[in-house]
Amino acid sequence: MAIMAMNELSVELISGRVCTVEVFPQMKITELQEKLKAFHPSKDELTRRLSDPEIVVDGEKLVALEHAMVEDSLSDHAKVQVVFVNATVECASKELSGRKVKDLRGVRIPDTETRIRPFAFEGCRYLFHLEIPESVTEIGHHAFRDCSSLLSVNIPKSVTKLADYAFAGCSSLTNLTIPESVTELGYRALNGCSSLTSLTLPSVTHLGYDVFSGCSSLTNLAIPSATRIGFDLFSGCSSLTSLTIPNRATGLGGRAFSGCSSLTSLTIPRSVTEIQNSTFADCSSLTTLTIPSSVSSIGADAFRGCISLTTLTIPNSVTRIGDRAFDGCSSLVTLTIPDSVRNIGVDAFRGCSLLDLRLPDLRKVRNGKGGYTYEPWPSAAKRRRR
């Protein structure tokens, strides 16, 4: 076991006051309690709020304090959050069977390892420090899933893929470095990483479904090499304000941007041929969007709930608009449907109260479900109308 020494601990109170506590390797919890008592006059209150975990790995005790919640005398509801770990365990994932790994705080993978096996550290909710050596070439599926205290991860250049669910549910992860060697992120690889704010993926070409779903703090993302925007890829990324879709991307999957409530504008490249179901549903801040002439169909619920969308031009390459495609677009004022459109689905424009709709030569047909569709006139009837 390798020891990671710390000389001092900075403690920040909500009031803004920062206090420093001297610490040392193998420091006892009771000793730290004595030092923290200065933050609050009541010893009983402080003691009740501190935990005293005993973690034993290979017969050695790790002295660790995950969180200390104390009140600041300057504020009735202030708190102090302390993360205190003075030891890092060196352990290979293949050696973890039978160990009580759920209490691990710090892990260093030895440089004799070439892979981190599937489920290796899944559910280690106290793990916040992780070191992965250059010898590792593979990070298995679910390897660090639900490691909810993990703060920072540096993926080595030897790794080419993050497997399915690799870091899903790492809700405290704020810093993630992914090198150019990584070309693939598996299904839900980063799903639910709700503290991640920025990420650059320079060489990733394949993004599995749901990779960033639930990354609600993500504001800045670069995916210059991606070849497809898959299903649910950014679903629930409520802080994402803009994104450049690479020119090589050939599709926009269903619900790809659903719930991206801070997204204001987006340019769809000419390589995209279809906007699928619910792709932009509930993008409530989206005001402008350019649909290229390569798109042939707009799926059901594609823009449902885009309440800030004011204008949109549909190119004459589009032949079909799906059910409820613009349902609830209450700010949409002008929309011109080109003659190329031969079918408009059920309730496609329901709730568009301000819309001046300019339709091609289509007839409005009640669908029997309380709504309407738009269909071409029968050829004979069309000749009579002329």
Q: Poorest-confidence range of 24-28, 181-185, 273-277, 313-317?
A: 24-28
Distance, CA of 168 to CA of 211 (rounded, Å): 9
Q: What is the model's pLDDT at position 250?
A: 86
Name which residue leads in pLDDT, 84 or 165: 165
Is pLDDT at 60 greater than 90 in this prediction?
no
Distance, CA of 354 to CA of 269 (rounded, Å): 29
Q: Which CATH number fits the domain 104-226, given the four candidates 3.80.10.10, 3.40.50.12640, 3.30.310.10, 3.40.50.2000?
A: 3.80.10.10
Name which residue leads in pLDDT, 130 or 98: 130
Is pLDDT at 150 greater than 80 in this prediction?
yes
Amino acid at 332: L
Give the pLDDT mean for 171-179: 93
Contacts of 294 (CB under 8 A, 6+ apart): 270, 271, 272, 273, 317
Helix (H/G/I), strand (E/B), else coil: 383: helix
Q: Which CATH number fits the domain 249-386, given the four candidates 3.80.10.10, 2.40.50.100, 3.30.450.40, 3.40.50.720?
A: 3.80.10.10
pLDDT tens digit sequence for 254-303:
999 999 999 998 889 999 999 999 999 999 999 988 899 999 999 999 99
Q: How confident is the model at residue 377 (pLDDT cuts 50, 70, 90)?
A: low
Is pLDDT at 378 greater than 80 in this prediction?
no
Distance, CA of 310 to CA of 169 (rounded, Å): 36
Distance, CA of 254 to CA of 31 (rounded, Å): 55
Q: Return residue ranges of the chain for CATH 3.80.10.10.
A: 104-226, 249-386
